[in-house]
Structure 1
Amino acid sequence: MTDAGTDQVLPEHLVQVFGEHRNLLFSVAYRILGSAADAEDAVQDAWVKWSSADRSQVADPKAYLVRIVSNVAMDRLRSARSRRETYVGPWLPEPILTSADTAEDVAAADSVSMALLVVLETLSPLERAVFVLKEAFGFSYGEIADAVERSEASVRQAAHRAREHVQARRPRFHADRARQRDVTERFFAATTGGDINTLMQLLAPDVTLWTDGGGKVRQALRPVTGAERVAAWFAAIGSRSYEGVDPADMAVDLVDLNGGVGIVFSGAGRVIATLTLDLDDTGRVAAIHNVANPDKLRAVAARTIHHI
């Protein structure tokens, strides 16, 4: 492999070292940014820095690379925040296809769930990076301090603030995979059949639906709240075309999406939307995240499965 921007050929062992940690780097960046495309760019930036670094000064390649990608991701997040202020409608993270291994690891599945990524959007870039490195990857406070280039005391404070914030906004409950799949299948059947009664049984009274079209496809511009309103919204879907695709011509796949069971809608040769359900401790649907912005469906359309 050649060094970015030069004709220098890097030693094979340096390429191999980066390759060994590439999956980790993407995993860190995605959790900080909530965007697969931005995470890939952050990993590429890390590669450029790695390929041009004085590696004689690098005692721990893993720590060095995590530091690079964490800071690149925080910088990208600060830039993205300003763009998201003018976003049309609710902003949701970019969905990714995950592996069965991720789904079986409760901690890993929770750390990439749509529900948690939405909550992480409300943290500062530093708090988010610290939370991700501590809670998702188990780095020590000293290691995190080195990664984000802050004092250990400030990292501990940021971790405490982030943890309290997340716990206050998202009670930690993870439905088992069998229940997730059962509810998702029943929800889809009720939606396509226009069965409002079954939908009402599946939905929590205070359920909230977030739809992200980014102003590029028609979606609700504000969250839809309450079982009756959400049931009516979905019951109507089965009777009308969506972005020019008739319901009869739409393919539906149940897949591993962001660490849980999700739905991918396809038609006319493209991915149209994804849907994930977040269950409460009674097994009813407490939150629904519907991503239809075509710019955010590229990772799913590429069918790349991430082991994160």
Structure 2
Amino acid sequence: MKKWFAALPPLLAACMLSLGSSASAAGWTDYRLVAHALGGIDQKPYTNSYEAFVTNYEKGQRVFEIDLQFTSDGCLVGRHDWSLYAFQSLGQPVSADMTGGPLPLDRMRSLTMFDQYHLLTFGDIVDIMHEYPDAYFVTDTKSTDSDTVTAQFNQIVELLNEDPHILKRIIPQIYNEKMYGVIERVFPFESYIYTLYQTADSNQKVLQYVKSRPKVTAVTMPEWRATSGFLSGLKQMGKRSFVHTINSPEAMDKYKAKGVYGFYTDFVTPEDLRRYAAKKAQQGAAKTAKAALPKPDKRT
């Protein structure tokens, strides 16, 4: 991993040096975009790759969600799942001995994505967090099995040497109420996200639960759960609401009008949102100016 940093272009290396060595004072909830699976690259989502991270960091993203799975030899890596479809959709060759399921780390290292993007272990993420001290990582560890969750977060905490200054930039996603306590027994993280794609709990039950958990600072939901009442309830508690996965500024604007705070996205960048806001303001000003023009006198 470190040899990749040594080979970075001079402009990017200078940018990284300018960041300094201390963590950013801004909390992760100051940002309204979360780069889904480290963000898309070359119009390709779900790579969870080193190149995707660097590309989207350069585009202004600072909060990155990463899918995490164990390899067959117990290494936590950036991977959505182990299905044969996942290999095929990432341009990785499928051989006759592959029937679905995790592979060992050395084999995964050899399987670049689309012949150009590279796998990240969580150890690599540790290197990135040292090199980019204002980047935050949201975990999507998938599992709700207590033993698996414990093993996943034990590895995360151990690789980060239990350093609280870096661990505050890790935001675990929980998928049910029980998972919070399982992770807390490993390490008391500063902030959690309750993401709802695996729970059948009603919006009302979710509201009751997050009210009792001050460290659950945000709730992430699919589009269909983003009702006005639910969003209003979260806002009244001071909880941030995020919707996934939204890939157009126009759709984000629609949900923002309903009360959504932020969005998981593959491709939308902060600059895209600035341009969209400027265009919308320009159109609004033109409409106002047109309305202010004197009406023609129909009598003449």
TM-score (norm 2): 0.25
**Which protein is bigger by CA-based radius of gyration?**
2
Structure number with higher relative contact order (C-alpha < 8 Å, ≥ 6 residues apart):
1
More helix by share: 1
